[in-house]
Structure 1
Amino acid sequence: MTSRAQDVAIYLSHHFHHAWEGFGFFDLQRLMYLAQGWHLAGGRGVLFSDSIGAHKAAPLTYSVKGLLPMEEMLPEPDLTAEDEEFLDSFCITYGVADRAAVRRQVDREDGAWRLAQLTGGEGATIPPQLMEATFRLMLLDHMDAGQKLRKSQMIAQKQRFEGGNVVAFRAR
């Protein structure tokens, strides 16, 4: 069973209304796109069944119109336990990011939104299979970057140790 896009939007609005100053409609739409993509890439299937279109400014879930993060006016979202757990983790991950970092991740030229727009034109529906594939590639990119960072950190640490302990790291 999938959750409704409106419930996902309410959940994200509740969280990011506090995390980002001036949280707005396109911020919400980008986060919905990312949540759907990561849910698919994780092998969980679609988070919500509503389609996401390749609008020129951002990927848009057309069924979510004008939802603003006004907590006192919005109902509590009705999500499955699994979806709420996923969204908790998603909000922790993206809650430390800023608006510009999220936009850069969404605006990737090799991402599903841009590819759907390129092949299908303005407003084309982004196929879930394309989202899953491009987000899995993004995951591989993150892993590769993380491995390179860890390797450079290990080299730097070894160099510090070599400099501080001449005897233990002396070449034979």
Structure 2
Amino acid sequence: MFSRRLAVAGVTALVMAGLGGCSGAAAGDAAGASTGGGSHVRTVDGATTPSPDTVSGLRDGVRHVSAVTTKATRPHLVRRCTGATRRVTHTRRTGSGKRRSVRTWYTTEHYQRCGKVRQGTETYRRVTRPEHWCVRLDDVGGNRSHDDVWYRVTHTTYTDALAADDHARLEFSPRGTGC
């Protein structure tokens, strides 16, 4: 069991060391910051080589879709305790051999029985559509036929794309497609 834990710890240390080497930014370049006068968006970890899930293209537009909430009701639960009793058995053994005897007696123990019970309803705000940020790209992956493709991105990537010039080359890791 100890050798298995040691092996798992060793593998974990190697993976963390490998990931730590990939997270550093180039000299003079802040991690996650845009370069080239705001024309290029990097991934959050500042990786210089694009990963398979990285997309690139020309900035065509940005869109912020705010969250939509609605009022809803749910049961209001409160903790309620009631006094309760239980019968407790006590046993006392004395003597040994033929003179051994067992005496049993009972007592009543008082305790609190608690649980959550419904007491009316309460209103709350339910999110029907979460907030998300989108970037539209042209020439996705250098292919001129892939235009007007929307990608959902993080708020940081959205802010960088918003600051970038129109038709500037962007590169980022999207959270999903469509907006």
- TM-score, structure 1 normalization: 0.21
Greater strand percent: which structure? 2
Higher helix share: 1
